[in-house]
Amino acid sequence: MEELLGLNGDLILLACMALIVISFVLIILLWSKLSKLRKQYMQMMNGSQAEDIEQLLINIQGALNDQKAESAATSAKVHAIREAMTKMKSKVGIHRYNAFAEGGSDMSFTIAILDEHQDGVVMTGIHSREQTYIYAKPVQKAQSTYTLSPEEKEAINQTSKQQ
Q: Give the count of beta carbons closer than 10 Å to the beta carbon of residue 63.
A: 10
DSSP conformational letter for 6:
T
Residue among 151, 86, 81, 147 nearest 120 (CA): 86
For the entire predicted model, the pTM comes to 0.55
Backbone dihedral angles phi then psi of residue 89, each to the nearest 5 degrees? -80, 85
Distances (CA, A) of 99 to 3, 52, 111, 158: 135, 84, 14, 19
Confidence of residue 44 (pLDDT cuts 50, 70, 90): confident
pLDDT tens by residue, 90-104: 889 999 988 887 766
pLDDT in tens, 49-79: 667 778 878 888 999 999 999 999 999 999 9
